[in-house]
């Protein structure tokens, strides 16, 4: 087994095909195919299911990919260590967040200190954040909870209650607060399953003997916001994420506070990376103020 064979396999797996892997490696497609073929022949194992339209991993391929992800990520960390100043000048930091709002002050401070570092920021619910970190598709995540797993380094950002909100034209918008029982009688607009806000709200309501059923289920916070703004129902969000929108009115939910604990997290095994460490240092310093 040779390094070039594992590298060829890994890039085919993560790129989704031999042509894309060849482009990523600056090689020809036959060269990449030959390296993967030799790896399969040497160990008498099939790593990819091949057809004319797509290439998919076999079970053995999935197992090997888990290993090569760690292998090449460790290689990148070694490269970062040996070229620290360059990493902080021209690296890329990948962040996936359930709400970018909680990161704005950290991003501003980080950009001021490391203006040439490229930042990739995408949205996702709690499930997406965790999956992206474990698969090494993101370096840092932002969650609406404090994870219990000991595999993560964590910086708590804030704690805010879950509130309801409605269009200013909606009859309930004139209320300063509302009970769970009253909400159950309203058309509700909820996030997709996997949203921690939805899960916490439903769990709290169930414990109080109230069933909250969505009339509309939408993927993503912005989709919910636009649907509610159009007058289609009542939505839910943490108070910190409500922001300012003249079309919408916030409404307190009567009863014990349902707090969302926003946290910045990364895998401990990746916390030594220069960019991740620099971002966490800034986050911790701001959290202490």
Report the pLDDT value the prediction gives residue 67, as an integer from 0 to 100.
Answer: 92
DSSP 160-194: EEEEEEEETTSGGGG-SEE-HHHHHTSPEEEEPTT
Answer whether residue 86 shows pLDDT above 70. Answer: no
Mean pLDDT over 82-96 rounds to 74
Answer whether residue 87 shows pLDDT above 70. Answer: no
* Position 167 confidence tier, pLDDT thresholds 50, 70, 90: very high
Mean pLDDT over 166-177 rounds to 93
218: three-class secondary structure by DSSP: strand
Mean pLDDT of the chain: 88
pTM exceeding 0.85: no
* Position 196 confidence tier, pLDDT thresholds 50, 70, 90: confident
Answer whether residue 72 shows pLDDT above 70. Answer: yes
Report the pLDDT value the prediction gives residue 85, as an integer from 0 to 100.
Answer: 55
Q: Which of 135, 106, 113 is nearest to 121 (CA)?
A: 106
Answer whether residue 262 shows pLDDT above 90. Answer: no
Report the pLDDT value the prediction gives residue 52, as an integer from 0 to 100.
Answer: 72
Report the pLDDT value the prediction gives residue 271, as an integer from 0 to 100.
Answer: 86
Q: What's the burial of 246, exposed, middle or buried (CB within 10 Å: 0-12/13-18/19+)?
A: exposed
More confident residue, 126 or 66: 66
More confident residue, 143 or 178: 178
Residue by residue, what is the 3-state secondary structure of 28-51? CHHHHHHHHHHHHHHHCCCCEEEC
Mean pLDDT over 251-272 rounds to 86
Contact 103, 129 (CB under 8 A): no
Q: Which residues contact 284 (CB under 8 A, 6 or more apart)?
A: 155
Contact 55, 12 (CB under 8 A): yes
Interval 24-47: pLDDT, tens: 888 899 999 999 999 999 999 999
Mean pLDDT over 5-22 rounds to 90
Residue 269's CB is within 10 A of a number of other CB atoms, namely 15
Domains and CATH numbers, the chain: 3-80 (1.10.10.10), 84-151+262-287 (3.40.190.10), 158-261 (3.40.190.290)
CA angle 103, 109, 112 (to 5 degrees): 135
Using CA atoms, how far apart are residues 66 and 68, in angstroms rounded to an integer? 6
Using CA atoms, how far apart are residues 107 and 115, in angstroms rounded to an integer? 10
Contact 80, 87 (CB under 8 A): yes
Report the pLDDT value the prediction gives residue 283, as an integer from 0 to 100.
Answer: 93
Using CA atoms, how far apart are residues 79 and 56, in angstroms rounded to an integer? 30
* Position 123 confidence tier, pLDDT thresholds 50, 70, 90: confident
Give the residues across from 261 on adjacent strands: 159
Contact 161, 256 (CB under 8 A): no
Mean pLDDT over 11-16 rounds to 90
Interval 209-228: pLDDT, tens: 999 999 999 988 889 999 99
Q: Which of 132, 104, 125, 78 is nearest to 221 (CA)?
A: 125
């Amino acid at each position: 087994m040779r390094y070039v064979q594992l590298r060829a396999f890994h890039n085919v797996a993560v790129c989704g095909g031999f042509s894309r892997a060849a482009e990523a490696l600056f090689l020809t497609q036959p060269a990449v195919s030959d390296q993967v073929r030799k790896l399969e022949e040497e160990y008498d194992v099939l790593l990819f299911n091949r057809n004319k339209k797509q290439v998919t991993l076999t079970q053995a391929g999935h197992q090997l990919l888990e290993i090569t992800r760690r292998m090449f990520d460790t290689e990148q960390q070694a490269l970062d260590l040996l070229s620290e100043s360059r990493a902080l000048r021209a690296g890329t930091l990948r962040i996936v967040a359930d709400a970018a709002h909680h990161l704005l002050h950290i991003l501003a401070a980080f950009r001021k200190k490391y203006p040439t570092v490229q930042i990739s920021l995408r949205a996702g619910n709690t499930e997406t954040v965790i999956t992206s970190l474990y698969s090494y598709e993101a370096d840092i995540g932002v969650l609406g909870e404090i994870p219990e797993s000991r595999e993560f380094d964590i910086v708590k950002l804030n704690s805010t209650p879950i509130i309801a909100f409605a269009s200013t034209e909606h009859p309930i918008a004139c209320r300063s607060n509302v009970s769970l029982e009253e909400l159950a009688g309203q058309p509700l607009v909820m996030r997709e399953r996997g949203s921690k806000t939805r899960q916490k709200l439903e769990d709290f309501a169930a414990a109080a003997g109230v069933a909250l059923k969505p009339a509309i289920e939408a993927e993503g916070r912005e989709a919910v916001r636009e649907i509610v703004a159009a007058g289609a129902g009542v939505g839910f969000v943490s108070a910190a994420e409500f922001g300012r929108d003249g079309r919408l009115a916030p409404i307190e939910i009567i009863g014990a506070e349902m707090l969302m604990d926003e946290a910045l997290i990364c895998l401990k095994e990746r916390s030594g990376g220069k960019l991740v460490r620099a971002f966490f240092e800034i986050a911790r310093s701001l959290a202490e103020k």
